[in-house]
């Protein structure tokens, strides 16, 4: 059994420092890895990223992250990534990594993802160049995620995104903003590999549980949804299920 802890949308700044740390100190007894599903900062500044690094460093388990839309806001992504990596946090974007755990080899593929909507109610690459560019951004992100998932050689495979891959975990959000919260293309990417679990954030008013068309269980781990420092999922080798 591999134990995966995950949380997203912690929106760190100096006034939040210490909020998660008491629970994080217990991580080695509860999980083999911690996944951070984006929106780690409030406005995407390097100073806020330093708060993230301080809060999530030296936890006794590997910490793997993707960025979210908030982490891009100040256009300081290279500085944010450098700061996070300086704190021991691995940042993925269309990449994957494999971790040896007592329960087996865990593969994590990560990408921020993007919007676009879901089957029957989605944007298409038609018309103005701005719309084509919007949809192409999602296509590129989904392609990178799919490639990263399919390249990993491991016992258990997990997909980590910020944007939602299914509409199920958006229930509670206004329907009008679904196209800005995720895309069905991410779900297709997750289904292109033997993924055991997909975790994401972004949808603060959404729901916790969903499933891709291919049967992969999806969990929205945005902090406002799970209302705890992290959720823990128990995964078994060659299984496509999460506890």
**CA torsion 213→216→220→226, rounded to 10°?**
130
**What are the domain boundaries of the chain?**
2-235
Q: What CATH number matches the domain at 2-235, 3.60.21.10, 3.40.50.11540, 1.20.120.420, 2.60.120.260?
A: 3.60.21.10
Sheet hosting strand 33-37, strand order edge to edge: 89-91, 63-66, 33-37, 2-7, 231-235
To the question of pTM greater than 0.85 for the whole model, the response is yes
The secondary structure of residue 26, as a DSSP letter, is T
Please give the pLDDT value at position 121: 86
Please give the pLDDT value at position 243: 46
Annotate 67-90 with three-state secondary structure.
Answer: CCCHHHCCCCHHHHHHHHHHCCEE
Looking up tokens 């959000």 gives 173
Local confidence pLDDT in tens for the 243 residues of the chain: 999 999 999 999 999 999 999 999 999 999 999 999 999 999 999 999 999 999 999 999 999 999 999 999 999 999 999 999 999 999 999 999 999 999 999 999 999 999 999 988 889 889 999 999 999 999 999 999 999 999 999 999 999 999 999 999 999 999 999 999 999 999 999 999 999 999 999 999 999 999 999 999 999 999 999 999 999 999 988 644 444
């Amino acid at each position: 059994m591999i134990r995966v802890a995950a949380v997203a949308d912690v929106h760190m700044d100096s006034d939040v420092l210490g909020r998660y740390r008491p629970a994080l100190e217990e991580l080695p007894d509860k999980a083999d890895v911690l996944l951070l599903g984006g929106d780690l900062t409030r406005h995407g500044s390097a100073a806020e990223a330093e708060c993230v690094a301080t809060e999530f460093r030296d936890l006794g388990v590997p910490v793997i992250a993707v960025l979210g839309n908030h982490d891009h806001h100040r256009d300081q992504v290279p500085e944010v990534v450098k700061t996070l990596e300086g704190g021991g946090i691995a940042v993925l974007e269309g990449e994957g990594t494999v971790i040896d755990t007592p329960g087996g080899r865990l593969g994590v593929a990560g990408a921020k993802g993007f919007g676009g909507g879901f089957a029957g109610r989605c944007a298409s690459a038609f018309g103005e160049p701005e719309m084509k560019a919007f949809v192409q951004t999602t296509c590129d992100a989904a392609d990178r995620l799919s490639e990263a998932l399919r390249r990993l050689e491991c016992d258990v495979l997990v997909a980590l995104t910020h944007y939602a891959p299914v509409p199920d975990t958006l229930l509670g959000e206004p329907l009008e903003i679904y196209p800005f919260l995720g895309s069905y293309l991410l779900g297709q990417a997750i289904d292109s590999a033997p993924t055991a679990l997909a975790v994401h954030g972004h949808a603060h008013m959404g729901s916790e549980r969903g499933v891709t068309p291919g049967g992969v269980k999806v969990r929205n781990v945005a902090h406002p949804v799970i209302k705890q420092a992290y959720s823990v999922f128990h995964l078994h080798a060659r299984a496509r299920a999460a506890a």
